[in-house]
Copies of this chain bind each other. A is one copy, B any other.
Amino acid sequence: MSGNKKRFTTKYGTMSHTKKFDSFSEKEDSVPIGSLNILSAKYESLDYEVVENYVYREEERNKGYPFVVKKNVVRWIIFFWIGVITAAIGIIIDLSIETIADLKFNQVKKYIDRCNQSDCLWKPYLLLLAYNIVPVLIGSTLVAYVEPVALGSGIPQVKCYLNGIKIPRLVRIKTLFIKVIGVITTVVGGMCGGKEGPMIHAGAVVAAGISQGKSTTFNKDFGALNYFREDHEKRDFVSGGAAAGVAAAFGSPVGGVLFSLEEGASFWNQGLTWRIFFASMISTFTLNLVLSAYHGHPGDLTYWGLLNFGKFSNFALSYEMFELPIFFFMGIIGGLTGALFCHLNYKLTVFRMRHLVNRWKKVLEAVLVCCCTATVGVLLMLWQNDCKPLGLDPTKNPVQLNCNDGEYNSMASLWLQVPEASVRSFFHDPTESLDATTLGYFAISFYLLTIWTYGLSVSAGLFIPCLATGAAWGRLIGLGVQCVFPNVDVGKYALVGAASQLGGAVRMTISLTVILIEATGDITFGLPLMICLLTAKWIGDYFTESIYDIHIQLSGIPLMAWDPPPLSSNIYASEVMSYPVTVFKSKESVGKIVDTLKKYTYNGFPVVDDVFSADTEGGNNKPNGRLRGLILRSQLIVLLQNKVFNEIPSAWDNVSLTTFRRDYPRYSNIGNIEVLDSERQYTVDLLRFMNPSPYVVQHMASLPRIFRLFRAMGLRHIVVVNDSNEVIGVVTRKDLTRYRVWRHRGAIGVEELQVSAKL
């Protein structure tokens, strides 16, 4: 332990001011491939803070209480529609997959049954390949060439967004389209991917879309709802969308709320939580209603979520004391395999980043994996002769492959259905229907294929493949337990295994427990689930970060932790902050503003009064005059664009909050703004538009204090002042996320990350 402490001290010892200065002035490379310790400078924070400037107060005064009430009512309506539309997308995905997969498996079965006799098994194999390659080719091409942000499950990205980081193009409608097509093609293409993660992303896009009353993809502005055009409101809606996505995916409204809160909300707000819950409930209900009707039970409301664990009997889920240690042991296995999963996928991802840079290579890899998945499946069917009498397994497409008449190949039944159906098979099929070796082969092959699949250029989630892998080995353990206690249900062990495997990989805590409880539909099994999830998380965390966090770190995204690093109260604001600071006077010339915006990429500029203290002029800590407020780059751009200069009184009449909202969230680049030479001498009155009371800390404020303030208030900038209230620095997200805590192998420590420059 003392070694760690030393490391900590050394780290801080080497943090010289020169180095910090460098990282801001020099253009370094972007994040090096495979590095987990570099933060990319290209990610900006969202701004949760409301700028209460003059125009804001004016609008507030003019609109009064009726507007407050109206805004509130509209919020509820929007959350309602977030629920409905998210569910609609879930329904489209679900029915598309079901229809196409049915067609595919039906045809393949027919060919297998026909060729089993006449020795032409290459025919169904080729057919299966074709059925897999075509959709995967479409999906991966779309992802690779059209919208790379649609890659993967989207959960890490949504997590970052909720954490307060701007992820470019994440919540555009175009992304949603690619994602929906991508996930359908991936699952139909028989790859080891699920449709649940993408649902969460889809919900987030829906929420961001309908709450803003405009679409960048369609270049259409409906003009409505422009009072919700700020990061603060938008992020609230996106929380609701993500929750609605979880609710639709797993039939888990409470889990959805907890997911949003666990991943994102910086501040638990009763009203917001209640609205999020409402959206989740509406989403679950809509999905339930439509799917029930589609499957011929209108009004019965029995379809609860896209991922249906099926109905466990009360007997199956009852447990006794002696089983708790077994669950604990399974949690350990889940943690170990989860950590190995994360590590192998990390190595693979680094390899990909290094060698598979071209788009066509990415598409090619996706097709390759797709072929391999199909081939592995077919080989296992041929290899493993697990023949069972027909009627035992409720599978849709039993094939006779290598079996006697009246029997079917149970390994084939696992591969000739979507992975979700396999999970249900593991949970509910009668004990005898699957042999131990079948389970073992399936678990190992699916585990490895999932590692290979995650991070490919396709849209697919991790939940279902992890659940399927874990359910397979869980059921295997269940078979072992049955040798000693013949009365136990193997499906229960499959469920515990599934939870352990998933928990070991994604390390979510309370929300995952609740999601699984809700998906199971029975709360009495909560304790076993919690035991295995907790154990899996602890064991997994002992070795690696979660799979999501690894991918976030590889991208260099400055995700904020929940708590400040321990033992850091001796690090002061003056050491954390970035400086020198570029400031503006309260009445600033247009020329100076334009030049500054062109020269620096900063997003916030303190506004100071004109008094400069003369005595410390030469020092490193040169103060900048007393703080008056903070003005954002986006505000300055809008002011320049609309020529709101003191010398052009007419421009003043039209300036209101609407002016600032019009371009949200994509403001012009300073390069595109034309300022006449004659206008460069004009002045802008920043007092009217700046945030008059930005959050401020004193230079001797400690890192934990700044961290908590930043985290709880969802800030983007904190201004650091000296004893005389003169600006000496600014703290941003990257200044705080640089200090990262690691906790592995029983030790704990803090490392300081570097920030790469913008490319």
Contact = CB atoms under 8 A, between A and B. Distances in A.
A666 interface: no
A301 B319 contact: yes
A530 B268 contact: no
B262 A273 contact: yes
B274 A300 contact: no
A202 B749 CA distance: 38
A709 to B, nearest CB: 7
A523 B523 contact: yes
B569 A510 contact: no
A257 B712 contact: no
Interface string A460-482: 00000000000000000000000
A52 to B, nearest CB: 4
A65 B569 contact: no
Contacts of A724: 626, 724-725
A514 B570 contact: no
B725 A570 contact: no
A32 interface: no
A277 B510 contact: yes
Given A267-B711, A696-B696, 12 more contacts: A52-B569, A60-B567, A61-B570, A64-B567, A68-B748, A267-B267, A271-B562, A284-B526, A301-B318, A302-B318, A693-B698, A693-B700
A746 B702 CA distance: 46
Interface string A43-69: 000000010100011001100111011
A8 B705 CA distance: 36
A1 B65 contact: yes
A692 interface: yes
Interface in A705-737: 705, 708-709, 711-713, 721, 723-725
Contacts of A609: 723
Given A64-B5, A65-B749, A725-B725, A712 B267 contact: yes
Interface in A262-278: 262, 265-271, 273-274, 277-278
Contacts of A60: 567, 569-570
A112 interface: no
A524 interface: yes
10 contacts: A5-B65, A8-B65, A61-B567, A253-B526, A270-B509, A273-B509, A289-B321, A301-B320, A693-B697, A712-B713
A4 B711 CA distance: 36
B705 A274 contact: no
B65 A513 contact: no
Interface residues of A, number: 94
A702 B320 contact: no
Contacts of A269: 562-563
Nearest to A705: B693
Interface string A586-616: 0000000000000000000000010000000
B318 A277 contact: no
A296 interface: no
Contacts of A120: none
Q: Closest 5 A-B residue pairs measured CB to CB?
A: A693-B701, A712-B712, A725-B725, A68-B566, A52-B569
A704 B261 contact: no
A489 interface: no
A518 B749 CA distance: 40
Contacts of A570: 57, 60-61
A521 interface: yes
Interface in A62-112: 64-66, 68-69
A534 interface: yes
B270 A562 contact: yes
A527 interface: yes
Contact of A530 (B52, B277, B721): B277
B723 A65 contact: no
Contact of A527 (B61, B285, B723): B285
Given A569-B52, A570-B57, A273 B530 contact: no
A414 interface: no
A522 interface: yes
A55 B273 CA distance: 40
B700 A692 contact: yes
A524 B304 contact: yes
A747 B626 contact: no
Nearest to A262: B270
A649 interface: no
B254 A514 contact: yes
A406 interface: no
A308 to B, nearest CB: 12
A126 B395 CA distance: 68
Interface string A683-695: 0000000001101
B510 A748 contact: no
Interface in A524-552: 524, 526-527, 530, 534
Interface string A311-355: 000000011111000000000000000000000000000000000
Nearest to A288: B527
Given A300-B320, A530-B277, A700-B692, A569 B270 contact: no
Contact of A57 (B285, B289, B300, B569): B569
Contacts of A562: 269-271
A281 interface: yes
Contact of A65 (B301, B566, B708, B712): B566
A4 B693 contact: no
Contacts of A510: 254, 257, 273-274, 277
A551 B170 CA distance: 47
Contact of A1 (B50, B57, B66, B273): B66
Chain B CB within 10 A, most for which of A267, A322, A513, A627:
A267
B320 A299 contact: yes
Chain B CB within 10 A, most for which of A8, A65, A265, A567:
A65
A522 B524 contact: no
Interface string A1-18: 110110010000000000
Contacts of A270: 262, 509, 562
A56 B301 contact: no
A584 B732 CA distance: 33
A752 to B, nearest CB: 16
A253 B692 CA distance: 45
Contacts of A64: 1-2, 5, 567
A702 B711 CA distance: 20
A52 B265 contact: no
